[in-house]
Amino acid sequence: MPTNQQEQEVNYARSLSEQLTFRGIFIGTIGSCIITTSSMYIALRMGSLPWPTIFAAVLSMVILKALGSTNVNEINLTHTTMSAGAMVAGGLAFTIPGVWMIDKDADISLLTLFIVTICGTVLGLLFTGLIRSFFIVQKELPFPMGIAASQTVMAGIKGKKAKLLFSSLGLSAAITAFRDGFNWFSSTWMSAKLAIHNLFFGIWLSPMAVGMGYLIGPLYTSIWFLGAGFTYFVLIPVGLAKGWFDSIESAAIFKDSLGIGLMVGSGIGILLKGVIPKTKEIYGLIFNEKVDSKRILSKAIPIALILIAFFLTFLTELSLFPSILMIIGVWLTTIMAGTITGQTGINPMEVFAILVLVAIKSLFNTTMIESFLIAAIVAVACGLTGGVLNDFKSGHLLRTDPKAQFISEAIGGVIGAIVSCLVLYVMFQSYGAMGPGTELPAPQAFAVSTMIDGLPDVKTFFAGLIIGALLYVFNIPGMTIGLGLYLPIYMSTTVFIGGMLKFIISKFSAKKAKNGMIISSGLLGGEGVAGVVIAIVKVLTGG
């Protein structure tokens, strides 16, 4: 929280026109295109998507201060617009690529992608607007990235910090160009000697992965690596030696099914522990006439929901009743997303998509395309919810007008929906294949595809599901362990290195640790943007 001295030094806006400015919207829109593009690449390559909030806050501050007089609220609304599209891109990247993993010739038109993504964006905005007061004002959940963004804006950005951001961004982009554009070196190193003994260890030569680990921090990266270490150093080698698995392929099926089960089970744990016991409290506040969001959205929501159901039914492959159930599922899972994001800073949007999808498939025999469209809408809505609530937390601390923030979120979200569809299309055209063993592994989308195409090891999945639910009930992050189970070891290792770097630096200097946040944001942004530029060049040149 801001100190009294900071309160006196900070320049707050006195009117709405000083907060929501044309230049702020314009800068935020351009930034949204860049960050959404970067986020799509990161999600497909990494299978994870750290919040871009700090990067957007620093970038907004640098640009607005360079243009002249500004205030913390204008900066906050600008970075709100910038960051909204990132989570939309994540929701799309974590689901739709699974279609091509099952059938590389599957036909999903660009129009269908646009409609589905925009519908998910609108649902996420509307339902988040309803629950803002509960999570931000009444419950005051931490939303760590929102607090970090507010502190970044409060502290201001000096020349040295701006240099750190853009230097790390340029370095990361250069390394990516040399690695993926000119092919000067391989993206991964794997130990051949250890592999002979069925011990798999490697490192991904990725500045983005190091930066992501730094931003996530030592606790969750250690738990993530614990899941990976158990898988690749114990489960697979011991299982093969003892005859539990007849091949490496069967071991991979087991660990993937277990990891997915852990993640889905954790989602059920959130529902049982974090949502159902508080349903009356949450919904009671929503229908309270004194809540601003209720008055603003009460007339718009019924019309919007009818239009969404209409568009999905008549303009996409979705049927009417699955569309209606999906909308109800989004209402519930956005509350789940708000709960876990507020408590931990992690938003497993694809897990919420799987939960809704499983429920709908138990009632309707949906086609493969229908199933992925449902998953995409839920993931986009839940992803956006986490991002919007982080921004609302920052805005609450900085006294930014919530109505202005909602407008900024809507602009950034819709821009992000359009850009993410175009970038996904370009990436698919460029790389041709996605999934395990390719340059774009998209592990979350692979998890969704296994649920739709049929789990190869059903018993192991349900065992993981039960374990994951129990772990969450006892406050153990089974979802993070599950991520380590099915991601390649080289990714987990590099992310872990980033987390350890933060741990070590924090022990020596808190100031340097904060500078590391800025550097890490630049590492993510540089590789993300450079990766997409390389993909576009490949498409245009046929390379």
Nearest to 157 by CA among 50, 55, 85: 55
Nearest to 89 by CA among 46, 44, 125, 30: 44
**Pure H helices in 399-488:** 402-431, 443-453, 458-473, 478-486
At 70, phi and psi to the nearest 5? -145, -175
Q: How far is CA 143 from the centre of its chain?
A: 14
**Mean local confidence (pLDDT), 225-246:** 92
7 confidence band (pLDDT: 50, 70, 90): very low
Q: Is the pLDDT of residue 20 over 80?
A: yes
Half-sphere exposure in the Cβ direction for 54 (13 Å, CA): 29
Strands 202-204, 188-190: pairing is antiparallel
| Contact predicate 129/293, CB 8 Å | yes
d(CA 373, CA 3): 46
**Mean local confidence (pLDDT), 274-293:** 58
| Contact predicate 356/311, CB 8 Å | no
Contacts of 296 (CB under 8 A, 6+ apart): 129, 403, 406
What pLDDT is stored for residue 280 in this prediction? Answer: 66
What pLDDT is stored for residue 360 in this prediction? Answer: 92
At 189, phi and psi to the nearest 5? -125, 125
**Mean local confidence (pLDDT), 424-442:** 82
d(CA 23, CA 16): 14
H or E element at residue 7:
helix 4-9
**Mean local confidence (pLDDT), 431-458:** 81
What pLDDT is stored for residue 285 in this prediction? Answer: 47
Strand, helix or coil at 194?
helix
Nearest to 364 by CA among 309, 319, 305, 313: 319
Q: Is the pLDDT of residue 181 over 70?
A: yes
| pTM for the full predicted model | 0.77
**Orientation angle between helical segments 300-315 and 320-344, nearest 10 degrees:** 120
Q: How far is CA 435 from the centre of its chain?
A: 18
**Mean local confidence (pLDDT), 361-378:** 92
1 confidence band (pLDDT: 50, 70, 90): very low
In the predicted model, what is the mean pLDDT of the chain? 84
Q: Is the pLDDT of residue 93 over 80?
A: yes
Q: Is the pLDDT of residue 415 over 90?
A: yes
Instruction: Tell me the pLDDT tens digit for each residue of 485-498.
Output: 877 888 889 989 99
Instruction: Tell me the pLDDT tens digit for each residue of 507-533.
Output: 988 888 888 888 887 887 788 778 777
End-to-end CA distance of the chain: 51
Instruction: Tell me the pLDDT tens digit for each residue of 38-85.
Output: 888 888 876 667 677 777 888 888 899 889 888 888 999 999 999 899
Q: Is the pLDDT of residue 235 over 90?
A: yes
Contacts of 319 (CB under 8 A, 6+ apart): 313, 364, 366, 370
Name the DSSP letter for residue 474: T
d(CA 335, CA 378): 12
